[in-house]
Amino acid sequence: MFCIDNRCTDIYFNLAAEEYLLKQKRENYFMLWQATPTVVIGKHQRVEAEVDTDYTQQYGVRIARRFSGGGAVYHDRGNINLSFIETVKQPDFVYYLQQVVDFLEKVGISAYADQRLGIYVDERKISGSAQCIHKDRVMYHCTLLFSTDLDTLNAALNGDPDAESRIPGSRTVRAVPSVRSEVANIKEFLSEPMAIKRFIHLLFHSFVDDDDNRIYRFSAGDMEAIERLKTEKYACKEWIYHKSALTFT
């Protein structure tokens, strides 16, 4: 498996990178990345129902839509994102989740998962995940709340639950509401203080140090293709606000 330590914090680039690796590559990848303050909603959600857009506009929080389904999540530099993208005959998303739970165990955190593949400690959620399948390629990606600003998270993820339930432009596709959970940061459960940079280092090397894995860096061709997908899709208001999102694949 190729391991990518992606230092870019542009949410639109990173979402484009995920789709590029899923659809245009055949190898297996693990990518670790972060983003500046952003609310990321699932492919079949309405912005208005999930996001307090007055708040996000006032405080400079971006809004993005990902390629996978699931609920809305908040990203900032205290949140760590893991993307697993592989070619498989039979998807097993619990396998990817278990790798994350196993790493948390190594740093002294006893975590457990629920049926929606969220990860919890003491009944509070520290990780949400989403999945998608493209032909024989699968993607499992999840968040890890390490030191996220939870006040901003709760304020930004405060949309209007009475917003129109149908996806714009569709008479049949209904928006998928998020399932709310009480959240917590991983740093609260560590027996000794740890900087997020140290945690990221340990997390990344828990995969790189596997004899079958090695580091991968985006080539010039990769970067060009990802930037093009970012510009043509993920940074477009038409995609983000679903004004014509049903025309995208």
27, 242, 247 from 85: Cα distances, Å: 8, 25, 24
pLDDT at 211: 82
Whole-number percent of the chain with pLDDT over 90:
82
Q: Taking the CA of residue 32 as centre, how many other CA atoms within 13 Å lie in the half-sphere pointing to its CB?
A: 21
Confidence of residue 167 (pLDDT cuts 50, 70, 90): low
To the nearest whole number, what is the mean pLDDT of the chain?
91
Instruction: Evaluate if pTM is beyond 0.85.
Output: yes
pLDDT at 246 over 50: no
pLDDT at 178: 67
140: tokens are 């499992």
Instruction: Give dist(CA 18, CA 92) in Å, integer.
Output: 18
25: tokens are 């590559």
pLDDT at 162: 74
DSSP H helix total and E strand total for the chain? 8, 12
The stretch 228-238 carries a mean pLDDT of: 97
DSSP state of 160: -
The stretch 142-162 carries a mean pLDDT of: 94
State residue 15 phi and psi, 5-degree precision.
-65, -40
pLDDT at 157: 96
pLDDT at 55: 98
pLDDT at 29 over 70: yes
Specify the higher pLDDT residue, 242 or 212: 212
Instruction: Give dist(CA 85, CA 22) in Å, integer.
Output: 6
Specify the higher pLDDT residue, 130 or 175: 130
pLDDT at 181: 77
pLDDT at 5 over 70: yes
pLDDT at 180 over 90: no
DSSP-H helix ranges across the chain: 11-24, 47-50, 53-59, 93-106, 150-156, 196-208, 220-229, 237-240
The stretch 176-196 carries a mean pLDDT of: 88
